């Protein structure tokens, strides 16, 4: 069985300047990890308490530093794939990460998603090994030759609604 934790508690934004470059000091996305839910409340409590330790580390933050492959000017329609590069902070540890992103443009609005895979141990967390957690989504498919299949933590950011403004592009809602 595959367990997927989901939340709509996402805040922040990605701001582009007039030339289409990311404005890093204004481009940060935060996810409230205390609101992650799967199809099993007991597993959710275990992951939040034992792995993520959400009482001490309630949020994950991604500071976007650049977006490579994003067309300039931004299209008014269609879909494009690009890469987000930045610093991901989880469990009080910050690591550089690269996210594969896709955006769909429709008359001034942008819907997008981005995903990356990181190791729990890179962020100072112990992979769950017992109880209600048997594995983590995508672990088998993403595991390398080292066989650390329960050390993989896919992070996925989806459903960002973006509106263009004269001063740049801003995320206005996360769904």
Enumerate the H helices of the chain as residue ranges: 41-46, 139-142
Which pLDDT band holds residue 103 (cuts at 50, 70, 90)?
Answer: confident
Owner of token pair 């141990």: 121
CB 96 within 8 A of CB 155: no
Q: 135 pLDDT band (50/70/90 cuts)?
A: very low
Span 11-61, pLDDT tens digits:
888 888 888 889 999 999 888 999 888 888 888 888 889 888 999 999 999
The predicted structure's pLDDT at residue 3: 65
CB 133 within 8 A of CB 43: yes
**Cα(27)–Cα(14) distance, integer angstroms:** 4
**pLDDT of 57:** 96
> Which tops the pLDDT comparison, 133 or 148?
133
Q: Write down the pLDDT at residue 2.
A: 59
Alpha-carbon gap, residue 151 to 133, rounded angstroms = 12
Position 63 pLDDT exceeds 70: yes
């Amino acid at each position: 069985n595959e367990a997927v934790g989901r939340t709509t508690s996402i805040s922040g934004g990605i701001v582009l300047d007039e030339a289409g470059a990311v404005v890093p000091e204004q481009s940060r996305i935060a996810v409230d990890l205390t609101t992650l839910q799967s199809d099993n409340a007991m597993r959710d409590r275990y992951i939040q308490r034992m792995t993520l330790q959400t009482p001490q580390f309630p949020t994950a933050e991604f500071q976007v530093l650049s977006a490579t492959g994003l067309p300039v000017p931004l299209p008014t329609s269609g879909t494009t794939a690009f890469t987000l590069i930045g610093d991901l902070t989880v469990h009080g540890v910050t690591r550089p990460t690269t996210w594969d992103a896709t955006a769909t443009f429709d008359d001034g609005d942008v819907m997008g998603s981005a995903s990356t895979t990181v190791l729990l141990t890179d962020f100072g967390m112990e992979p769950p090994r017992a109880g209600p957690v048997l594995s983590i989504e995508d672990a088998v498919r993403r595991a390398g030759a080292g066989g650390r299949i329960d050390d993989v933590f896919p992070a996925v950011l989806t459903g960002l609604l973006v509106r263009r403004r004269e001063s740049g592009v801003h995320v206005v809602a996360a769904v």
